[in-house]
Amino acid sequence: MMTAVLLALLLSQAGGPEAPSESAAPASTVTFAPAPSPLPSLLYRGAIWCASLGPSPQVPSGRYRLQCDTSTRRCLAVPQNELEADGTESERPLERTSSCQELPQGELRQLLADGYTFVPAIAEAPPGWYRDERGRVMQFNFDLHRRVWLGGAWAPLWRTGEPRALSRGRLDFGIIAEVPDGERMMRRFTVLDTELILGEQSSLDATLFRYDTNVRQDKPPIRVTTFLGKPRRWDFNFDMGAWLEVLRLEMLRRGGLDHIFYTLISGHLTLDLWHSRDLASYVRVRAGPSLEYDRTNSTFALIPGAAAEGNITLDSNGFHHVTFGAEVEKLLLDMRVEGRPHHPERLRVRAGYELILLAINDQPLSLVLEGRGQWRTDLLDERPVWEWSANTGLRFSLWAPARRSAPLAAAR
Amino acid sequence: MLALTLALLLASASGETFPICFDPGNGLLLGAGPALQGGAVTPELQAGILLRTEWKSRSKGTPWLNTHRLFVTRVRSGTARLGLTATLYEGNLRRHLEEGFILVPTARPVRIPFPFDLTLAMRLGHYERRVWEGPGWTLETGRAALLLDPVRATTARVWLGVGPAASHALRSSREGMVHELSPFTTLLLDAGYETENGWWAARVTALAGWVVGLDGGMRFRTREEVVLERLLIAVNDQPVWLRLSAAHAHADAGGSRMDEWSAGLGLTVRVWSAR
């Protein structure tokens, strides 16, 4: 409906304004061709001219952005301001357009003399952004690896042999930033990654700072050549990176008792099993030690741990995300504590899916579905059982710019 | 530009110019005056750093209108109500759009009008110590709220934000220390208006909602505060406002979570706040 109104209004410009004699005014009559449907878009990286084509009732300023194609002798023309709902030009300039060069009136006269047609169009939009018929631009591509997030979820819990705990809610918060270092390394910083579970079996898991990298090696360190049949070379890459966590607090209330663990520092080496071309998505394994203080039992422990994990963005616009992981830890050099086994162990598994539902003022709101399980023997006077949690909730993200690999709207 | 300059600066009889426009959201804050609390009148001192910034988001291309308040501290002397309130950081970060909208990411994106600016309101490290109550203190480690602003002013000196807030606080008393959490179960209102020349400034903050203890218990509490300021004089170009304030807390004041009314009258200086 909106498109039809706009097309009608733009079409009504056909036969356009007469050119006044002043040099700042259009040099000649500009006749617009009928508006095609859908309206074509100017190319973001193409040369764009700014020109006065003469005022009209719909575009009183008479100012347009032009992109001309010599092979088709066609110029796409877009008013320099956004349009109102009734199709008339507003006073709001188009946002996020590329720069344009003023087209001299002599050049415009030449275009008209050469028989160029002027076609109503939509202005260009940068990668990751979409522009509607009124020229309003909106972000259509989100990088959830660069954001400040705030979320809430329902998080029921099932513990083997116990009644299910349905009155549980989760609150999560965090800041993440990804910084590519050339094409071969991605540095990732996560700050205040916090997850608070309220209600039955409450818990708090907060990490002050996390740093990790994904690396693409320049040369494969191991190359194997086979000579069975035609000689072939097999390259084996070891894309190793680092993973570091500083000050993690884990508080759990189980069996009416608060269990508090401070992981002072963790350092792991990572090995990518797979990563995307932009290094934003990955599947990897990591392993290394952690130093932990168990405040409940006033004991330090050295914890060797290993994990397999993945974080994959499924689509180019960043709307679908899958995360998963399995982690195992064993406490060593810990004091013997009555009420739990010596050298206790932990096993955690998780899988999640995040889908951007909509964006409010260019800030995405996403649906989060997650399943988790854990089995641990480190809780005092608590029998080790599997506990499973299913989380369903919403997450609001600030920042979340367009992905570095965002395509142009026309390429979608 | 000339008219603006003339409006901001006037010439004295000797021909020297002096500022007549001030920004109540900027400057080094110093204040003093009597405060009435629980039937007792005590002198109160106030200090802090106020900072107002505006920057354009690189990722979104739209302006952020920000008001920051750092280390704002209030000290009440006298044996009857000796106490201290200090906030490490408080900030309102509002992203302003000419035309707010909700994008529904269908194949052909749908744009639904959304006539609000979004504000991120944060408060970190809010500490309160009431010596007259005996041992104990309250520390709100953090509060974050997402506020909707229907006024959508193009300046940071006018704002009206309403929305849910999440917070965590520690409350220490003779009985021990308890955690209090508000997982978006609190509604926060923050509104303010300052005239363009800064002669008048008013701010209303209110919150109401439930906090949850780690033991699962829930408790309802409210807080409201109104502040009205009028510029009186400027000494050596440093403006002095008359400040009138009133506050109320329901089941939230002090270690014993009392109801409480308080009021204040004083003078505040904002050094280096001339526009």
SS3 B14: coil
Cβ distance of B212 and A198 shorter than 8 Å: yes
Residues with Cβ within 8 Å of A259's Cβ and at least 6 positions away in sequence, in order, are A250, A251, A252, A253, A294, A296, A378, A379, A380, A382
Residue A363: which of B99, B118, B166 has the nearest Cβ? B118
pLDDT at A397: 96
With CA atoms as reference, report the closest residue to B124 among B93, B160, B148: B93
Res A3 pLDDT > 80: no
Res A12 pLDDT > 70: no
How far CA B202 is from CA of B80, B199, B245, in Å, comes to 29, 10, 10
Quote the minimal CA–CA distance from B243 to chain A in Å: 36
Residue A127, token pair as written in the block = 């990668």
pLDDT at B9: 55
Cβ distance of B109 and A132 shorter than 8 Å: yes
d(C-alpha A400, C-alpha B95), whole Å: 14
Res A5 pLDDT > 50: no
The mean pLDDT value for A204-211 works out to: 96
pLDDT at B39: 83
Instruction: Count how many pairs of residues, chain A against chain B, have C-beta atoms within 8 Å.
Output: 82
Q: How confident is the model at residue A11 (pLDDT cuts 50, 70, 90)?
A: very low
Q: Would an 8 Å CB–CB cutoff place A142 in contact with chain B?
A: no
Res A28 pLDDT > 80: no
Beta-bridged to residue A25, according to DSSP, are: none
* pLDDT, chain A, mean: 89
Displacement of CA A172 from its chain's centroid (Å)? 18
Res A346 pLDDT > 90: yes
Nearest CA in chain A to B100: A361
Residues from B contacting A (CB-CB < 8 Å) are 58-62, 95, 97-105, 109, 111, 114, 116-118, 120, 144, 146, 166, 168, 181, 183-184, 212, 214, 216
Please state which of the four CATH numbers 3.40.1350, 2.40.160, 1.20.58, 1.10.3470 is assigned to the domain occupying B25-271.
2.40.160
Residue B5, token pair as written in the block = 């300059």
Contact indicator for B67, B25 with CB cutoff of 8 Å? yes
Residue A401: which of B59, B95, B184 has the nearest Cβ? B59
How far CA A60 is from CA of A81, A88, A119, A122, A410, in Å, comes to 10, 8, 18, 18, 29
With CA atoms as reference, report the closest residue to B97 among B57, B126, B49, B130: B57
* Partners of residue A202 in chain B, C-beta under 8 Å: 214, 216
The mean pLDDT value for A348-365 works out to: 96
pLDDT at A20: 35
Domain boundaries, chain B: 25-271
Contact indicator for A118, A30 with CB cutoff of 8 Å? yes
Cβ distance of B216 and A356 shorter than 8 Å: no
pLDDT at A30: 80
pLDDT at B7: 46
Burial class for A88, CB neighbours closer than 10 Å (0-12, 13-18, 19+): middle
Beta-bridged to residue B178, according to DSSP, are: B171
Residue B111: which of A132, A150, A402 has the nearest Cβ? A132
Q: Would an 8 Å CB–CB cutoff place A250 in contact with chain B?
A: no
Cβ distance of B60 and A362 shorter than 8 Å: yes
* Partners of residue B120 in chain A, C-beta under 8 Å: 398
Residue numbers in chain B where pLDDT is lower than 50: 1-7
> For chain A, what is the radius of gyration of the CA atoms?
30
Residues with Cβ within 8 Å of A349's Cβ and at least 6 positions away in sequence, in order, are A325, A326, A327, A372, A373, A374
With CA atoms as reference, report the closest residue to A402 among A360, A366, A362, A352: A362
Res A164 pLDDT > 60: yes
Beta-bridged to residue A173, according to DSSP, are: A150, A194
* Partners of residue A140 in chain B, C-beta under 8 Å: 103, 105, 109
Query: What are the structural domains, with CATH classification, of chain A?
Result: 2-131 (no CATH), 147-411 (2.40.128)
Cβ distance of B102 and A360 shorter than 8 Å: yes
pLDDT at A119: 94
pLDDT at B15: 76
ipTM confidence: 0.82
Place of tokens 């191991």: A222
Could you tell me where the DSSP H helices lie in B205-249? none
pLDDT at B1: 41
Structure confidence by residue, pLDDT tens digits, A36-90: 888 999 999 899 999 999 888 899 999 999 999 999 999 999 999 999 989 999 9
Res A410 pLDDT > 80: no
Beta-bridged to residue A283, according to DSSP, are: A274, A310
Beta-bridged to residue A186, according to DSSP, are: A180, A214
pLDDT at B8: 52
d(C-alpha A79, C-alpha A85), whole Å: 14
Beta-bridged to residue A102, according to DSSP, are: A50
The mean pLDDT value for A293-321 works out to: 96
User: Pairing state of beta strands A232-236 and A185-199?
Assistant: unpaired
Residue A298 burial (CB count, 10 A): 9
Residue A111 burial (CB count, 10 A): 23
Quote the minimal CA–CA distance from B216 to chain A in Å: 6
Residue A358: which of B100, B102, B116 has the nearest Cβ? B102
